[in-house]
């Protein structure tokens, strides 16, 4: 795979990933006149939960549902310049123009060394800090009307390699504690750009969900002497009731206590902490299994299923021996014309109530 790093007009990095040996060199310049990148966002620590909340008011002005001929993720063409200066590409990754977390000190930008705004409220109870990190956009294909489910296995494998590349590089940056690769698809999820793409967040802290998983994994190890995720995976493969696909290196199954109307976990059979540690064979096999699962998602109803695909990777500096890489893919659509809303119990107390059983969902996904 050929990797080419360039800079956009405002200094943001863009990286092209090419597997086609006949692909032209990526040398196009970004000729747009862009305003400077925003200064650091703020984050505040909730004194009741201990969780960090990012405040990124500049994101109110981000691009919202542009027409296809103004899509910022399509390749540039004469008279229409986009975030991708090239006239074509395989996979492209660039720094988000409207980031939730902004660059760490030490990176090559005038904003990187700036501190918090001086007019922020001060409160002895609520901790404040710059929301340092990095947010990137991953364009899966240059085809505007495509989707991840319609990629070839080779194209999907290139995306996997891009995820792994970015995970390794971002994890090596000072101040990054966790790297999160994900995709939001569908307006029901809140997507405002329809071009097939995902995102990557490099957080300056371990996320609440991951911290909870690590606590449970540590407690399980102390009581049972094993890996909770590995034992769950072994039980699912042995029982088979909730398994959708079981390949040489990966198993896709509906979690036994699934929260969402449609939810599938994809896990490697070998314990690895992150995408970087996957072998070539495991990456190839994942591409095939994931495309199979997404195809089943899209055959459930008369229209493509909206979903969130969230990679669960080990934090950079803690809990790596407790972590088992897996991808969680879930949808808010509970029937062809109904959505699941997080109402009182879910939103107010964090107690989920499911309208279907995991076994019913697994059977339906196997049928399609």
Has 194 been labeled as part of a binding site?
A: no
Considering 197, 213, 249, 326, which one is annotated as catalytic?
A: 197
Give dist(CA 239, CA 253) in Å, integer. 11
- Other C-beta atoms closer than 10 Å to the C-beta of 242 total 23
Has 58 been labeled as part of a binding site?
A: no
Residues 6+ apart with CB under 8 A from 175: 104, 105, 132, 133, 204
Q: Which two tokens stand for residue 142?
A: 């240059």
**Could you tell me where the beta strands, DSSP code E, fall in 65-203?**
91-95, 127-130, 134-139, 178-185, 197-203
58 catalytic per annotation? no
Please, which residues bridge with residue 128 across strands?
Answer: 44
Buried/exposed code over 299-321 (b: 16+ C-beta within 10 A; e: otherwise): ebeeebbbbbbbbbbbbbeebee
Has 128 been labeled as part of a binding site?
A: no
> Residue for token digits 């004194």?
47
| Contact (CB, 8 A) for 196 and 139 | yes
**CA R_g for the chain:** 21
Residues 6+ apart with CB under 8 A from 96: 135, 136, 137, 199
Specify the DSSP class assigned to residue 80: B
Burial of 38 (0-12, 13-18, 19+ CB in 10 A): middle
Give dist(CA 58, CA 300) in Å, integer. 38
Give dist(CA 103, CA 203) in Å, integer. 11
Give dist(CA 9, CA 85) in Å, integer. 10
Has 139 been labeled as part of a binding site?
A: no
Specify the DSSP class assigned to residue 119: T
Specify the DSSP class assigned to residue 93: E
| Contact (CB, 8 A) for 87 and 9 | no
| Contact (CB, 8 A) for 197 and 138 | yes
Q: Residues at the annotated binding site for Zn(2+)?
A: 71, 74, 144, 195
Which residues are designated catalytic?
A: 197
């Amino acid at each position: 795979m050929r990797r080419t790093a360039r800079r956009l007009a405002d200094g943001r990095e863009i990286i092209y990933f090419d597997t086609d040996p006949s692909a032209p060199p990526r040398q196009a310049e970004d000729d747009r006149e862009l305003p400077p990148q925003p200064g650091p966002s703020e984050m505040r620590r909730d004194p009741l939960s201990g969780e960090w909340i990012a405040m990124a008011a500049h994101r109110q002005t981000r691009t919202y549902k542009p027409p296809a001929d103004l899509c910022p993720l399509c390749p540039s063409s004469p008279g229409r310049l986009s975030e991708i200066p090239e006239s074509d590409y395989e996979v492209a990754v660039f720094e988000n123009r409207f980031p939730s977390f902004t660059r760490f000190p030490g990176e090559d930008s005038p904003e990187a060394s700036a501190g918090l705004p001086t007019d922020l409220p001060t409160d002895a109870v609520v901790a404040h800090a710059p929301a340092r990190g990095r947010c990137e956009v991953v364009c899966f294909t240059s085809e505007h009307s495509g989707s991840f489910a319609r990629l070839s296995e080779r194209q999907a494998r290139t995306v996997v390699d891009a995820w792994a590349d970015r995970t390794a590089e971002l994890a090596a940056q000072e101040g990054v504690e966790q790297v999160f690769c994900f995709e939001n698809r569908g307006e029901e999820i809140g997507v405002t750009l329809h071009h097939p793409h995902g995102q990557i967040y490099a957080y300056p802290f371990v996320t609440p969900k991951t911290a909870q998983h690590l606590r449970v994994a540590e407690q399980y190890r102390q009581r049972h002497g094993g890996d909770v995720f590995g034992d769950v995976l072994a039980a699912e493969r042995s029982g088979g009731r909730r398994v959708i696909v079981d390949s040489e290196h990966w198993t896709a199954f509906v979690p036994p206590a699934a929260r969402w109307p449609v939810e599938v976990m994809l896990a490697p059979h070998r314990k690895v902490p992150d995408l970087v540690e996957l072998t070539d064979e495991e990456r190839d096999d994942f591409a095939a299994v994931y495309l199979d699962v997404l195809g089943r998602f899209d055959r459930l109803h008369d229209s493509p299923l909206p979903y969130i695909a969230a990679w669960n990777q080990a934090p950079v500096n803690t809990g790596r021996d407790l972590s088992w890489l897996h991808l969680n893919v879930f949808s808010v659509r509970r029937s062809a014309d109904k959505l699941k809303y997080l109402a009182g119990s879910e939103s107010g107390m964090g107690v989920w109530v499911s309208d279907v059983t995991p076994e019913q969902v697994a059977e339906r996904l196997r049928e399609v």
